[in-house]
């Protein structure tokens, strides 16, 4: 039986890079996890024994480190672009290179007199993300964030939803809204400063999340996307995913205690999952 290769790609994943900028007494740190995926004319390595167009994934790893030595891996979008162009320049048989990047946040350790010059603290699970695909006929950049945990303890409810014979959820006009924001966005124009644009999108998400009454997670998601598109003109689309992390009121009656919306069980699963993509009209 004859077979035909339909599609193939390969690369290197989970390459962790910690870059320390040591210009002067005050240091800067950038920690990034990088994945590279290559597509192109290397089918003979799958259907035969020809490895002349198979760039070793170890070489990919070393290229990432070498580029980080020449230029700091920030902003993520620019580093991904440079990395993709590096591989296309070295390997003319490649058609496109996809680079996925996750930036791990570090903030300067506080001191009484200000920020510490070379001590840092990780603020939690939030990460900055970027996806850059560099091809010979163009480039696509997608930016984003993940793990941004937010919560509001009032001014959130859920009512007016359809009820079936299996519905037990009561309607409420006052509940805790807690979620972990995962988002990505595309650009209709390249921003002058990716770092500033990312900060502006993040700030718009937080402002919209906290502002006003939330009749549903869906409504809050739409408000977050709309404000980001309004504030950052270079954005083309915004995709948001908001898992509804339920906080359940604990029944303290068996212990002779009331519970006026003060003591809750914070649950991870199961959770509702609300997501949508918004663009411009």
Task: Please indicate whether residue 198 is annotated as part of the active site.
Answer: no
Task: Please indicate whether residue 118 is annotated as part of the active site.
Answer: no
> Which of these is catalytic: 12, 32, 127, 133?
12
CA neighbours closer than 13 Å in the CB half-sphere of residue 62? 5
> Which of these is catalytic: 27, 61, 104, 246?
246
Q: Check if the beta carbon of residue 76 is closer than 8 Å to that of residue 130.
A: yes
Task: Please indicate whether residue 154 is annotated as part of the active site.
Answer: no
**Beta-ladder partners of 149:** 180
Quote the DSSP letter at residue 66. Answer: H
Whose CA is closest to 16, among 96, 149, 127? 127
> Which of these is catalytic: 19, 27, 57, 78?
57
Whose CA is closest to 151, among 218, 245, 262, 223? 245
Which stretches of 176-274 are DSSP H helices? 194-210, 217-231
Catalytic residues: 12, 57, 246
């Amino acid at each position: 039986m004859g077979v035909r290769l339909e599609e193939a790609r390969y690369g290197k994943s989970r390459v962790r890079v910690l870059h320390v900028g040591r210009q002067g007494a005050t240091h800067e740190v950038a920690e990034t996890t990088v994945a590279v995926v290559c597509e192109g004319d290397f089918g003979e390595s799958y259907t035969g024994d020809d490895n002349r167009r198979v760039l070793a994934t170890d070489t990919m790893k070393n290229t990432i480190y070498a580029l980080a030595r020449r230029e700091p891996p920030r902003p993520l979008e620019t580093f991904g672009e440079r990395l993709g162009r590096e591989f296309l320049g070295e390997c003319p048989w490649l058609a496109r290179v996809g680079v996925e990047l996750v930036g791990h946040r570090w903030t300067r350790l506080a001191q009484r007199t200000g920020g510490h010059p070379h001590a840092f603290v990780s603020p939690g699970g939030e990460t900055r993300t970027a996806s850059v695909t560099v091809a010979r006929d163009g480039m696509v950049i997608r930016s984003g964030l993940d793990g941004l945990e937010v919560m509001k303890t009032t001014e959130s409810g859920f009512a007016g939803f359809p009820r079936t014979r299996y519905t037990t959820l009561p309607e409420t006009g006052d509940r805790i809204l807690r979620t972990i924001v995962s988002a990505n966005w595309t650009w209709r124009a390249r921003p002058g400063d990716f770092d500033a644009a990312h900060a502006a999108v993040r700030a718009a998400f937080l402002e919209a999340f906290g502002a006003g009454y939330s009749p549903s997670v869906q409504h809050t998601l739409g408000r977050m996307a709309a404000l980001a598109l309004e504030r950052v003109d270079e954005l083309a689309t915004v995709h948001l995913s908001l898992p509804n992390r339920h906080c359940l009121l604990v029944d303290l009656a068996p212990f002779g205690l009331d519970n006026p919306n003060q003591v809750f069980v914070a649950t991870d699963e199961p959770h509702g999952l609300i997501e949508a993509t918004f663009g411009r009209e």
